[in-house]
Amino acid sequence: MRIFHYWFALWGIVFRELLRFVKQKERFLSALVRPLIWLFVFAAGFRAALGIAIIPPYETYILYEVYITPGLIGMIQLFNGMQSSLSMVYDREMGSMRILLVSPLPRWYLLLCKLSAGVFVSILQVYVFLGIAWFYEIQAPLEGYLYLLPALMLSGLMLGALGLLLSSFIKQLENFAGVMNFVIFPMFFMSTALYPLWKLKESSTWLYKIAEYNPFSQAVEFLRFALYAQLNEQAFVYTAAAFMLFLILAIIGYNPSKGMMKRKGR
Amino acid sequence: MNAKLLLSSVLLIVATTSVAETIFVSLEKDNAIAVVDPIAGKLIKTVNIGQRPRGIKISPDGQSLYIATSDDDTVLELDANTLAVKSKLPSGEDPETFAINSLGTRMYVSNEDDNQITVIDLQSKKAIATIAVGVEPEGIAVSPDNQWIVSASETTNMVHWIDANTHEIKANTLVDPRPRALSFSADGRELWVTSEIDGTLMVIDVATKEITQRINFAVPGLGQDKIQPVGVVVDDIHQWAYVALGPANRVAVVNAQTYQVEKYLLVGARVWNLAFSPDQLRLYTTNGVSHDISIIDLAEHKVTKSIAVGRYPWGVAVKP
């Protein structure tokens, strides 16, 4: 195998995902509308909800919209990661997965390509969302938008890998509703996306603990600091470790002789 | 060697940018003043000063810092560099706010309980006159040409126009309930006055002594009862005015040309008094209940930082 083949496979998979994304205008719109509704409707009602406490990376008092924005970026990537996993189930049902997996390239590489394609699409969505938020006076320092890019790549890969891992368990498309109920919603609500940890601690200690160790929280905090041109080392290490773990499990999961494919592949 | 050189040049840059200006904040409950480096964004130190410090101002030459220690019934004069007490001025009872003329020769102190203004000669450090005014005088200011002393009586709801030479009240302007603070525009043509109870800002024409503009505030999602304007300042080029809205935790940005409110900036809880940096690129606010001050970047109209300073920050003065 030459490097050219690797590049060709990556391009093919990313291009297919992009094509799918561009063709499905509703998907783009709904991916954008979801966080915007949270921002304009939900957050508007809680403008002063945070009370008085300044938490890093913020250096002064902020409106709830400002707080929730990194959480909504995380939400875009979470949904995107799960949607990619949905498309994997679809691909499997339609047979295109078979075409992909018979390629002579290593399976882990093909899965990574698939992940990267999803992340690429999610980054486009995030920047469009931030562009709209800018006009709503939610503005981070300019360099923060640059720092955000590598952070988005890592958090996107982590959430995508989680989606991939889940998709190896899902047999049929219909089961995606279960993913919504048992993965997306708990992960999103039991995290720092909507409320800071100290606020969660006020209501319940166990919720605080879950939120603290929730990989989605760590991804959101990583993004939050990056948006303000800062590095949250703990969140970075946690997110990177979670990515590796999910990826390894997903690769095992997609191995026909070992993983879940064997279990349900008939 | 190179690393050392680099380090020392970095330190030099940090040091030179850090000495741009110093801000002093009176801490009503800590009986102290906080000294803050606003460029580094750090509290440098807290100095015990006297009972219940409130009004705080720098002399026009920048050499003296005056602080009204209300429960000690005096206005302290400190050396602005060393913070050593230079004198205790005979302010009369319970001084809260005061104003200094642009020559630095006279100080005018509001004595809220006695319904009077005490005039102090800053050279001899003696009280040379008292002027009877309305009930509960608070906000006080001197016109840029030193002709007028204006005093706002909180209960009488009046602005008194006192001739600075004769110390006689020449005119009164009836204003909205509980006037708190007042500030002249740099050209001396307008006087901006806040009303705490009605939540309004009034602009008075100095020539006619009549209200020419009345500005209302409405912060989305916040009850009108929370809007209690206190401190007000107008920039030297008469482009913007800034009003501290008290428990609304916002500073209103008012276009001084159109008299329209253009923006509300979120700061700490119960924002009280305001002061410009000498170059008017920043505005400092004291946030009484959240025990901090906020720094506003005036080029962008953005709050850049809030710094914890101590209990109940009341007033703020800036030393160039």
State the Rg of chain A over Cα. 19
Mean pLDDT score, B125-143? 94
Say how far apart CA A143 and CA B171 lie, in whole Å. 55
Contact B161, B170 (CB under 8 A): yes
Say how far apart CA B164 and CA B167 lie, in whole Å. 5
Say how far apart CA B75 and CA B93 lie, in whole Å. 10
Q: Model ipTM?
A: 0.77
User: What helix, strand, coil percent values describe chain B, rounded to 5?
Assistant: 5, 55, 40
Return the pLDDT at A14.
Answer: 80
The answer to whether the CB atoms of B304 and A61 lie below 8 A apart is: no
More confident residue, A112 or B42: B42
Return the pLDDT at A261.
Answer: 53
Say how far apart CA B6 and CA B148 lie, in whole Å. 54
Q: What is the pLDDT of residues A8-58, one digit of tens each?
A: 778 888 888 778 777 777 777 888 888 998 888 888 777 666 666 788 899
Structure tokens at A145: 């938008």
**SS3 label, residue B12:** helix
Return the pLDDT at B306.
Answer: 94
Mean residue pLDDT of chain B comes to 92
Structure tokens at A6: 């690797």
Concatenate the DSSP letters of all residues of chain A into one string: --HHHHHHHHHHHHHHHHHHHHH-HHHHHHHHHHHHHIIIIIGGGGTTTT-S---TT--S---HHHHHHHHHHHHHHHHHHHHHHHHHHHHHHHTHHHHHHTSSS-HHHHHHHHHHHHHHHHHHHHHHHHHHHHHTT----HHHHHHHHHHHHHHHHHHHHHHHHHHTT--SGGGHHHHIIIIIHHHHHTSTTTS-HHHHHHH-HHHHHHHHH-HHHHHHHHHHHHHTT---HHHHHHHHHHHHHHHHHHHHHT-TTTSHHHHH--
Residue B306: exposure state from Cβ atoms within 10 A (0-12, 13-18, ≥19): buried
The answer to whether the CB atoms of B306 and A62 lie below 8 A apart is: no
**SS3 label, residue B236:** coil
Collect all residues from B whose CB is shorter than 8 A from any CB in A: 41, 220-222, 249, 266-269, 289-290, 294-295, 303-306
Which band of pLDDT confidence, cut at 50, 70 and 90, is reported for residue B18? very low
Q: What is the pLDDT of residues A115-139, one digit of tens each?
A: 888 898 899 999 999 999 999 889 9
Return the pLDDT at B310.
Answer: 94
Q: Best residue in B264, B266, B305 to probe A by mutation, most A CBs within 10 Å? A: B266
Residue ranges for chain A with pLDDT beneath 50: 265-266
Q: Which of A44, A59, A63 sits opposite B266 (nearest CB)?
A: A63
**Upper half-sphere CA count for residue B308 (Cβ side, 13 Å):** 7
Q: What is the pLDDT of residues B47-106, one digit of tens each?
A: 999 999 999 999 999 999 999 999 999 999 999 999 999 999 999 889 999 999 999 999
The DSSP call for residue B71 is G
pTM of the model as a whole = 0.84
Mean pLDDT score, B145-149? 95
Q: Which residues in chain B have their CB less than 8 angstroms from residue A61's CB? A: 249, 266-268, 290, 294, 303, 306
Return the pLDDT at A174.
Answer: 67
